[in-house]
Amino acid sequence: MLCLTLYLVNEKSEFLSLSKLPNNGSFDKIREAVSKLKSRYVHLNLMHSSSKEGHQKLRDILCNLISPSTVFDNISEEEENLVKNSWFNENLNKIQMETILHCLKSRELALIHGPPGTGKTTTIVELILQHARLHPRSKILCCAPSNTAVDNIAEKLINRTDPIPIVCVGHPARMSESVLCR
């Protein structure tokens, strides 16, 4: 069985941690996707770290062959302090900051999930910027269930005074004009 820890924000902006998906429909879709991934791409090496071992571990986690680590030590104390003392967006709330730190500390995988309007896009943009600062030569894959969601993230990254280089892949008819023009 697929087991993920979700970090959610409820209507009262309270930070909740759950160890299952919000409903069976979501779980069934993820289980089906993992099953397809396992059957088709078990020999695929995914780009996660520079070592082959890192590729294989991430692949095994995504294929539900092993569980992700529960140890959160992927950044040093110095890097954590750098992030804590220099947010790109100074309007982040405490939960968004904790979520970003949790994601940065995660060894293999982190998931941000929540209802509309809770600041997921803002959190993801800050996470991308912080990760790019800590690991300037790394590549980040950002995907979402809709083109609009990815376009919103891309627009926030593009419209910065110090934009980071991005590549958007998608059908031009379904991408926002501001992202296409970049």
Residues 8-43: tens digit of each pLDDT: 455 555 555 444 444 566 667 767 776 766 655 444
Coil, helix or strand at residue 9: strand
Residue in the block written with tokens 């950044």: 75
CA distances from 50 to 42, 113, 114, 134, 135 (A): 19, 28, 31, 16, 12
Give the span between the Cα atoms of 38 and 74, in whole angstroms: 26
Answering whether pTM is above 0.85, one says: no
Residues 150-167: tens digit of each pLDDT: 888 988 998 888 878 888
**Residue 18 gets which letter from DSSP?**
E
